[in-house]
Structures are given as structure tokens and as C-alpha cells.
Amino acid sequence: MDLLDKRLLVLAFIAALGYAVATIGMKLASAQWGLLAGMLILLGFYAAMQAEITLMRGVELGVLYLLIIAAESLIVLGYAFAIGEGLNLRESLGGLLIFAGVMVVLD
């Protein structure tokens, strides 16, 4: 499977989205457990698991996790900003290093 294959990018995004949804569920559960929080956690991890199993058949593990972590970071940071929990300058610079690493791998 070619690294820039559209299927790979879609599956990596689905895995990242699954982890992000689970993270949002955990954030909700940290305030108060409820059905919505539990369902987000379960569905998010299930989607991530299914996408990753498929991806692992043809993608190197290191590359796979860099792609997923970068995409998940964007989604979760967007949610964090939406609920008023942004990053300071130092944390933002650290986040940029994640994306720089992905660019090096994809180049």
C-alpha cells in the first residue's frame, strides 16, 4: 500500500477520529459519567481499532502512528479550543513538532 494512498489517509483519519471521539467521551466522563460519555468512549475506540487493524496489514507501524497522532491532535485541539481549553505558547510549539515530524515522514 502506497503511503499517500487515499485509502490509507481515510483509514488513518477514521482511526484518529475514533480516538478523538473516545477522548471527548472521557472528558465528559471526567465531569460526570453518563450514557453519552460511555457510548462515545466505546464507539470511538471500536472505530479506531477497526481502522488500525486494516491499516496494519500494509503500513509500517511507526508511520501509521505518526499519521494518527497528528490527525488526532488536530481534532482534539479543535475540541479543546471550542470548550475554552487552549494551549499556551510552549505547548503550541510542542504541538508543531508533531506536525513537523509527520511532514518529514511524508516527504
Which residues contact residue 42 at a Cβ distance below 8 angstroms, ignoring those fewer than 6 apart? 25
| Average pLDDT rounded to a whole number, residues 40-63 | 92
94 belongs to a structural domain = yes
In this prediction the pTM is 0.82
Residue 14 has pLDDT above 90, yes or no: yes
Residue-averaged pLDDT of the chain: 88
Cα gap 92→83, rounded to integer Å: 17
Please report whether residue 75 resides in a domain.
Answer: yes
Q: What total number of domains does the chain contain?
A: 1
Does any domain span residue 55?
yes
Q: Per the domain annotation, does 72 fall within a domain?
A: yes
Answer yes or no: is 1 within a domain.
Answer: no
Task: Give the domain extent around 23.
Answer: 6-106
Let me know if 45 is exposed, middle or buried by CB neighbors in 10 A (0-12, 13-18, 19+).
middle
